[in-house]
Each structure stands twice: as structure tokens, then as C-alpha cells.
Amino acid sequence: MMTKKFLPFLFFLPVLCAHGQQGKPVAKTIIQYTTAAGTDLRLSKTGSLSFKSMPQPLETEVCVFVDPSKTFQSVIGIGGSITDAVAENFAKLPEKSQEEFLEAYYDREKGIGYTLARTSIHSSDFSSGSYTYVADMDTELKTFDVSHDEQYRIPLIKKAILAAGGQLPLYVSPWSPPAWMKTNNSMLKGGKLKPEFRQNWADYYVKFINAYEAKGIPVWGLTVQNEPMATQKWESCIYTAEEERDFIKAYLGPTLEKNGMRNKKLIAWDHNRDQVFQRANTLLSDPEAAKYIWGIGFHWYETWTGSNMLFDNVRLVKEAFPDKNLIFTEGCVEKFDLDSVKNWALGERYGYSLINDFNSGVSAWTDWNMLLDEKGGPNHVGNFCFAPVHADLKTGKLIYTNSYYYLGHFSKFVLPGAKRIACSSNRDRLISTAFINPDGKIVVVVMNKTGVALPYHLWIDGKSVGTNSLAHSISTIIIN
């Protein structure tokens, strides 16, 4: 069970209240949690810390600087996707492991407290096969029926909502329209939405949302199209920026509004960071399209080109369109290999992305599959990938990769409604971000991707806490 995954509390001492220039308390208690390679530390409490006076740090003194008075975007949630593959794997687990999975992801005390979810509108590659909710050429959508999802997906989403305390914002994404609506007459390998079916396809989203909500699953938002510039061997559909803009402003936006769904968060792009500004600029520079768009979603797979992750492109979108939201909608490590589930680089990819994405203005962050099997699936086209947790269906046991713990350093401590606050490091070996929760607690996340430990000071308003960033580690410091 998850309670065994966290090490016991090592020690805790209350510290005297330190005061800043305005006479307001800087901290009463300070607790640090750490996950580190080559140790048993996994989201483990590694003791308490104390503030001391440090009026002006020297350049030779390593510091992470935090200013809670400088606030930025609010946080909506952090979570993962409940795909058909996740739900099918969950159903195949023994009851004890099912309970462990739900506790591990959704319990804030014993697990990592996920507060956001994504799922697909009919099939994706992480389904055991392609399917839709309507019969071929049913242009009026009279046969629309989501009973396929009642076997695995709908039951798991309902259990996840309960495990999360009765509320779990869910957004939904299509990978492809039905084959008969497309130019290539296939759900797979790209193709485009035929112009004559644009209204039918817009109606399809509404049908799906209504069907899920009728089953007791509230839908918080939706994306227009998963990866609209990728011709994949699995379900995919291509939109240029202009085509997506015109579909939103002439069909999808008005259709949502006409059906009383203006409050659903409409997310555009839903693809990689490499073209995120070009797409956002085209969509949001058109007032008639922009009025329907809540925000811009993106993935991290621009690295397929050999590029590093392009956070500056995300930041530019926020600077150019500050009234719109940014949401990370998908990321996973591809090319699954069971022998690599202990690879420390898995988690470090997550930590690197999470810190930089939040520092670029992101309000919500969603991992891809929450649970895959010991082969990295199921996936009906062999696109097997890593997940933070894998199910060994032969033994019924769960396998935790370090990605799970790296994600937990954010989702367990950064609560919905938190605001990002100013945070900077004076060494590139340490990357960091910080938040202030609605209850006033300050959350600072510091990551060290190098093989060398580095002592540093956490500095706030003339006071500092001395601590140590272990090699290949991530730490979350809670200041109350």
C-alpha cells in the first residue's frame, strides 16, 4: 500500500517566527521532502529547517530566492489521463491493488493528491481497438451511445472522482472524427474533417459531454483536437491554424454556446511547444475565435526533432495573450522497456518540464497514462510508452517509477487555487519554482539534475534556511 512508500518522519522541530521588513511572519515551521537517486528517499520528510538572518548574500553563496509578495498565475490542478488502457489495466488488477492505485494517485495524505483528469472522446492509440459512438453515415447522430465506455472507463472515472474527494475536473479530447467524416475515410493516419461534416462533428462533442454528465461525470472542459499537425499511424486528424480557427468560431464555439456549454473550458492547439506561438497567435488574434477559447494546451514531444523542450515559446504566448490560460495537456516517455523502469531520467524529465512550464505561466498540468501494463500498453498500434505506475498483470502488483514521485513533489503540495510566486536560483545546477497555497503555506520545489550535491540557502526577505540539494534529487520545502 502507499503508506509504505513514504519513509517515516525523521524529526520535526518548531522554529521561532522570523519577521520580514513589514513585520509580517516569514515562517513558523519549515518541512522538507526529498526524492533522490541512490537513496531510499521517496517523497520522504527529511527533517525541519530554521531561518537565520542573511541580509545580503554574496555571489559565492548559492541561493534560491523567493518573494511571496510577487504573484503570477493561479493553479487549477495537476493530474493524469484516464485512457481506455488505464481503465482496462485497472479492471484486471486484484481489488487490493485497485485500492492501492486510487489511494496512490488521489489521496493527498497517503498518496500524491491528483486534482485534474483528462480522457478521450472515443478511441485513441491507448485503446485496445478503434471505435466511435455512432453508426456509419449517421449524420443526425441518432445512434450516439457511449455504452462501450461503461465496461472499463466510466467505472474508473467515477471511482477516481470519489477517491479525489468527490470533485475532479475532467476535460475531454478527440483523436479523430469517425472515418466517414474524414477525407481519408479512416480514423487513422491523419486526413482532415470534411467541410460538409463540420456541424455534425461539433454536435458530436455536445453529445459526448451530455452523455457523460448524464452518467454522473461532470465535464470541466474540452480540447478541439489532439495533436492537429501530426499524421500518426493511430487516430489522428489534421487542422492548419486557420482551419482550427474557423472550426472554432463558426461551428464548435457557437454549438457549445447554443447548448448551454459556454462555461466549458475550450482548449485549442493541444500539440507541441515548437509551434505553440504560431498556432496561438493565429487563433487568438481573431476576436471571433478568441472569445470562445479559454486557453492553449500543449505537449512536450517537440523533442522528436532533436530539439530541447522549448519553454520560451510557451512564455511568449502568455506574454502576448495574458488573459488566456496555458495548460500542459500531455507528456510521457516513449518506447517502453521494462528493464528501464528504474531509470532515474524518467522522473527528471517530469521535474524539468513541470518547473519550467509553471515558470512559463502554466495553470494546469496533466500527465498522460496513469497506469500501463508490463508491456507499456495496451495500445492497438504498438505505440508502447512509460507511465508513472505500471501494472504487472502476472502478479497483480504495481510498479512505481520515479516519475510518480517527481510528479508528487508538485501535486501533493501545490493545491488548486495556489498562486505561483517569484522564485530564482543563482546557479544553473538548481532549477526551482514556488507557490503560495490558499491557506498561506509557501511551497518551494528545487531540483538538481547533476551528479553532484550542492548546499544552498533558501532566502526570503533577509532570512535564509540552509539545506542541501542531493545529486539527482528533487525537494519540496513547505513554509508555514
Pairing of strands 419-425, 454-460: unpaired
Contact call for residues 124 and 427 (beta carbons, < 8 A): no
The pLDDT of residue 89 = 98
Q: In degrees rounded to 5, what are phi and psi of residue 272?
A: -80, 170
The three cell numbers locating residue 264? 466549458
Contact call for residues 101 and 398 (beta carbons, < 8 A): yes
The three cell numbers locating residue 277? 506561438
Respond yes or no: is residue 243 known to be catalytic: no
Residue from 227, 235, 244, 302 carrying the catalytic annotation: 227
**CA–CA distance, 123 with 83 (Å, rounded to integer):** 9
Give the burial string for 57-88 (b: 16+ CB within 10 Å, else e). Answer: eeeeebbbbbebeeeebebbbbbbbbbbbbbb
- Sign of torsion, CA 335 338 341 344? negative
The three cell numbers locating residue 318? 502568455
C-alpha to C-alpha distances, 26 to 30, 440, 442, nearest whole angstrom: 10, 11, 10
Give the pTM. 0.94
Q: In degrees rounded to 5, what are phi and psi of residue 306?
A: 95, -5
Respond yes or no: is residue 330 known to be catalytic: yes
In the chain (480 residues long), the average pLDDT of successive 10-residue segments reads 38 35 57 98 93 96 98 98 98 98 98 98 98 98 98 98 98 98 98 98 99 98 98 98 98 98 98 98 98 98 96 98 98 98 98 98 98 98 98 98 98 98 98 98 98 98 96 97
Bridge partners (DSSP) of residue 45 are: 33
Contact call for residues 50 and 57 (beta carbons, < 8 A): no
The pLDDT of residue 219 = 99
Bridge partners (DSSP) of residue 465 are: 51, 458
Contact call for residues 431 and 447 (beta carbons, < 8 A): yes
Give me the domains of the chain, ranges plus CATH numbers: 29-73+421-479 (2.60.40.1180), 77-416 (3.20.20.80)
**CA–CA distance, 160 with 168 (Å, rounded to integer):** 8
Contact call for residues 309 and 273 (beta carbons, < 8 A): yes
Pairing of strands 430-436, 442-448: antiparallel
Nearest-5° Cα angle at 182, 181 to 185: 105
Residue from 235, 244, 302, 330 carrying the catalytic annotation: 330
Q: What is the chain's Cα-based Rg?
A: 23
Q: What is the 3-state secondary structure (H, E, C) of the chain?
A: CHHHCCCCCCCCCCCCCEECCCCCEEECCEEEEEEECCCCCCCEEEEECCEEECCCCCCCCCEEEEEEEEEEEECCEEEEECCHHHHHHHHHCCHHHHHHHHHHHHCCCCCCCCCEEEEEECCCCCCCCCCCCCCCCCCCCCCCCCHHHHCCHHHHHHHHHHHCCCCCCEEEEECCCCHHHECCCCCECCCCECHHHHHHHHHHHHHHHHHHHHCCCCCCEEECCCCCCCCCCCECCCCCHHHHHHHHHHHHHHHHHHCCCCCCEEEEEEEEHHHHHHHHHHHHCCHHHHCCCCEEEEECHHHHHCCCCCHHHHHHHHHHCCCCEEEEEECCCECCCHHHCCCCHHHHHHHHHHHHHHHCCCCEEEEEECEEECCCCCCCCCCCECCCEEEECCCCEEEECHHHHHHHHHHCCCCCCCEEEEEEECCCCEEEEEEECCCCCEEEEEEECCCCCEEEEEEECCEEEEEEECCCEEEEEEEC
Closest by CA position to 117, among listed 368, 479, 454, 304: 368
The pLDDT of residue 229 = 98
